[in-house]
Structure 1
């Protein structure tokens, strides 16, 4: 059985191999759902820290899974810029290629601009986010978490992913960006489709963009105390298209990864004895579990991308000008070189060590203010959940939990739990 067939599963027919990547690993298939850790281990064994991979429709790329190599690529924005206009595969992409929205053609936003233009967008977004009051953010998180819990706390059972972890970040982001609470379900559906890269990804991208353009128009007519209005009040001139694209980048980067951070952390605390104290009221283990997830089950497994500005060599692989390099954040975090002590023993819990790549690294890493917002949503979300439902437990064996069918995002599709029913508090916190 070939690497293609092994990744796809028995009985599946792989797409044509790319001649330049004859031994490439396909970045799709059921093993990313069932055994991603083992799959990354095999990639490292067979190819080293830079892996030839192939995307749907036979599109070749490189996956960086070495810690040192990841640091090199993300630190050298001259050799490996985030400039999709350099890509040597644009002419080979089908019009309906499902990853097109995720990879992205060159657009004037914080995510796709480079150099001085990128820094201009970054400063505008950071300036707006600095206006967010930590107290107000905590208040939003607590109020919206209570609202979600009120919807199922009296039942004695729930799916923590669909009923709590997935909607909570979107509700919070919607408020701070200037959306109404009623608009968040539509946003959530669109961004989930986009992140999973399936048949409805392009439709989700269209809906996502339309809603952001409508938000910009609404805030231009009537500004408010929200991130969108603060962005538009920044003294540097930007077009409405640029505002909308920056808002899309902020929301896409902040929603599903934060949802999976909540879900993965709760799953870890329900299944790992090291964190059992949290379920009886101990708070110390919550940040430890959150940090452990960023190392071992980081929500964003693979982040596109960087493009080679010129021919070069990386970890023995010949990278051609215009080649796409995918940032294997999960693979780099799992590099054995950063998992052992000088005596060769596994380090176990990461404690306060935050030298992971969960938020990427370098010039294009997640802005610090955005990292703080995500951390607050996750921490407060878990605290409120455990305060309200202290006897929460899984209703299914841990091994039966199913991961999202995506090589790019890591999260379980459902987390069914049971608990002692409690009455709703109806926002009286």
Structure 2
């Protein structure tokens, strides 16, 4: 790969956006970044590709509030001449992708409404019933054994199956979708292959629903997008892929991180078996302290600008450091104190490109149902290893556990669907 030109962020004491500290101690890492570089940090992506990581709450709020100056149009990126076709982050930072992620202006607003309307039409009681059905079915696969890994046997398998059901994808395709999504989001050697699997899956779904519409999200989006000024099948396909990726993995990590908090944090362990009242509080704390979506790509500067004391050039890529901004001492002066339900975190983004509210509600229903079902079925669940031995997946984008081994008193299966 051709090296970036001198004077860009890669030559300004840049921090590699990789390495074990993103998994082992991101709070301290972001604190050091903020202390050394301020609220806007020069970073290097794989292949010596320069970017800026925004770790200040105010600066992140400014970026997401001004879509004209900080655009979602990836065509603006000044590094495209240095990006090879097999760059592992292309699925996350795509060029000329016809998805909602890179649509701007009035067309983006109409597209966001289309997605919101399709999700809002999902019956909330049906959604919870699906989540309970799959959660009980998964618990049935390990409840008689007295031990399991919550991540691989439960959290990583649940959201995609619920989403596949409401989108219109056959239940049997859920496990392969999990593997493909993991490969794509982790941004490693199988990222492009994972993306191709999703394209094939949703292409087949679009073709089926064009021929025979059904009562599902894909059919509603196709119907609403029809027309000369609407959104064609390719655009609907891309948006369904975005919705699946954004809906599955962060929700799976939200489940795992919430259960880790409840099993290891003294503020929650005492009330773990005391009922469901602590689940919502624990889920909210995770969004502040251990948010699944750690960093997001991104925004592109529409012109030269100064931000957080930095000279940002037109076309520079700015990565949204959601986890770092949530820990900004300007908004969290004492991170040891519970937030008490404060929802000012940036875990779902902010501004016109934030996660649509119906999508956020869908994730909350799936995650909360997953935690509640598990605690109802296995009330004496306990961590099987020392808390300090738990490890995180090697991704700078999402923060989730590689495993969460637990023990519990064996219980009979209910006979649900897995």
Which bin holds the TM-score, normalised by the shorter protein? over 0.9
> Aligned partners of 1:210, 1:378: CA distance in 2, in Å?
27
Aligned twin of 1:126: 116
> Aligned partners of 1:104, 1:282: CA distance in 2, in Å?
44
Q: Alpha carbons of 1:399 and 1:235: their partners in 2 closer, same or farther (altered >3 Å)? A: closer
Q: Which has the higher contact order (CA 8 A, sep 6+)?
A: 2
Q: CA deviation at 1:347?
A: 6.4
Aligned twin of 2:287: 294
Q: CA deviation at 1:278?
A: 4.2
Deviations 1:301-355 (A, max 9, x none): 0001000000000011000000000000001001011112xxxx55610111010
Please tell me whether residue 80 in structure 1 is matched to residue 70 in structure 2: yes
> Aligned partners of 2:381, 2:204: CA distance in 1, in Å?
40
Candidates 182, 201, 204, aligned match of 1:211: 201
Contact (CA 8 Å) 1:18, 1:58: kept in 2 or not?
no
> Aligned partners of 2:225, 2:392: CA distance in 1, in Å?
44
Q: CA deviation at 1:107?
A: 2.0
Structure 1: runs of 5 or more not aligned: 1-14
Q: CA deviation at 1:16?
A: 7.0
Contact (CA 8 Å) 1:81, 1:307: kept in 2 or not?
yes
Aligned twin of 1:352: 341
Q: Matched residue of 1:279: which SS?
A: coil
**How large is the RMSD of aligned CA atoms in angstroms?**
1.4
Aligned twin of 1:284: 277
* TM-score of the pair, normalised by structure 1: 0.93
Please tell me whether residue 233 in structure 1 is matched to residue 223 in structure 2: yes
Candidates 399, 407, 429, aligned match of 2:388: 399
Deviations 1:125-171 (A, max 9, x none): 11111210011011001111000000000011100001111110011
* TM-score of the pair, normalised by structure 2: 0.96
Q: Alpha carbons of 1:307 and 1:416: their partners in 2 closer, same or farther (altered >3 Å)? A: same
Deviations 1:154-205 (A, max 9, x none): 0111000011111100110000000111101111101101111110101111
Candidates 382, 405, 413, aligned match of 2:402: 413
Q: CA deviation at 1:106?
A: 2.4
Candidates 44, 60, 72, aligned match of 1:70: 60
> Aligned partners of 1:382, 1:296: CA distance in 2, in Å?
18
Contact (CA 8 Å) 1:281, 1:386: kept in 2 or not?
no
> Aligned partners of 2:362, 2:119: CA distance in 1, in Å?
9
Q: CA deviation at 1:286?
A: 0.4
Task: Describe how 1:297-308 pairs up with structure 2 within 5 A.
Answer: 297-308=290-301
The list of structure 1 runs, each at least 4 consecutive aligned residues, that deviate by more than 4 angstroms after superposition, is: 15-18
Please tell me whether residue 273 in structure 1 is matched to residue 266 in structure 2: yes
Structure 2: runs of 5 or more not aligned: none
Aligned twin of 1:5: none
Aligned twin of 1:45: 35
Contact (CA 8 Å) 1:392, 1:417: kept in 2 or not?
yes
Please tell me whether residue 388 in structure 1 is matched to residue 382 in structure 2: no
> Aligned partners of 2:408, 2:321: CA distance in 1, in Å?
37
> Aligned partners of 2:124, 2:405: CA distance in 1, in Å?
32
> Aligned partners of 1:117, 1:91: CA distance in 2, in Å?
28
Contact (CA 8 Å) 1:281, 1:390: kept in 2 or not?
no
Contact (CA 8 Å) 1:53, 1:63: kept in 2 or not?
yes
Deviations 1:195-234 (A, max 9, x none): 1111010111111111111111111112111100111121
Aligned twin of 2:360: 371
Contact (CA 8 Å) 1:296, 1:333: kept in 2 or not?
yes
Aligned twin of 1:322: 315
Deviations 1:348-387 (A, max 9, x none): 1011101000001001000000000000001111000000
